[in-house]
């Protein structure tokens, strides 16, 4: 994700807001409000995990792609998973690693990161609408699916809309149909639970 896809912006933002939730949350909100927003996000993720089978992630491997400072990575860690992550920002990756002792947290682009293992669950939460170029977006999806084990899940939150549109140069919203078709081309089937429309869930078929 080169400069046109906001990578340089996020690296700089994490430098400017080191150790603050504004680095990953709503930049115009207070620290207290950002804590509330992340608490809500964690509850939604926990509800989805229950729908997917269990809150017990012991023995599971999880990749948090676009992990930021590890606020949600920490949830997976507390639930027992072996958690690894990747983020464009070295500052963010280091903070996430501190929240998940023993995890491998890489500072790398989502276009070309690489882990030697595959994962039971790959999460990418509130990241992909910042990837405005459609070819880059498709390349990231290939990366996500390639890091899931066969039968593993890829979970995406992207604020997908009924119609694709870009309210600003640095944002592109896409539809669930666009995701479903692109993920199918990557070898992943749609398994999104009906009670969780904000999440897109896919299973790698091979």
Residue 111 · residue 142 · CB < 8 Å: no
pLDDT digits (tens, 9 = 90+) for 22-37: 888 888 889 899 889 9
Whether the CB-CB separation of 107 and 137 falls below 8 Å is answered with no
Q: Are 176 and 201 in contact (CB under 8 A)?
A: no
Structural domains in the chain, CATH included, are 3-204 (3.40.50.150)
pLDDT in tens, 65-77: 999 999 999 999 9
Q: Which of 179, 174, 64, 52 is nearest to 119 (CA)?
A: 64
Element (H, E) at 164: none
| E strand or H helix at 156 | strand 148-157
Q: Give me 99's structure tokens.
A: 């929240």
Distance of alpha carbon 74 from alpha carbon 196, whole angstroms? 21
pLDDT by 10s per residue, the chain, length 206? 344 478 998 899 999 999 888 888 888 889 899 889 989 999 999 999 998 888 999 999 999 999 999 999 999 999 999 999 999 999 999 999 999 999 999 999 999 999 999 999 999 999 999 999 999 999 999 999 999 999 999 999 988 888 999 998 889 999 999 999 999 999 999 998 777 878 999 999 97
Does residue 21 contact residue 9 with C-beta atoms inside 8 Å? no
């Amino acid at each position: 994700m080169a400069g046109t896809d906001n990578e340089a912006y996020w690296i700089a933002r994490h430098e400017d807001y080191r150790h603050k939730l504004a680095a990953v949350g709503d930049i115009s909100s207070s620290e207290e409000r950002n804590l509330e927003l992340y608490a809500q996000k964690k509850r939604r993720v926990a509800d989805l995990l229950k729908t997917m089978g269990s809150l017990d992630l012991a023995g599971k491997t999880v990749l948090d792609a676009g992990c930021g400072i590890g606020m949600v990575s920490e949830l997976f860690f507390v639930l027992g998973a072996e958690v690894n992550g990747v983020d464009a920002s070295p500052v963010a990756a280091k903070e996430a690693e501190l929240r998940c002792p023993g995890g491998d947290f890489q500072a790398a682009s989502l276009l070309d990161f690489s882990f030697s293992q595959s994962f039971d669950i790959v999460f990418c939460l509130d990241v992909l609408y910042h990837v405005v170029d459609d070819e880059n977006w498709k390349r990231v999806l290939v990366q996500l699916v390639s890091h899931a084990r066969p039968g593993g899940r890829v979970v995406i939150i992207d604020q997908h809309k009924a119609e694709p549109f870009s309210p600003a140069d640095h944002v592109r919203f896409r539809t669930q149909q666009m995701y479903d078709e692109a993920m199918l081309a990557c070898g992943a089937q749609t398994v999104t639970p009906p009670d969780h429309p904000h999440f897109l869930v896919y299973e790698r078929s091979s």
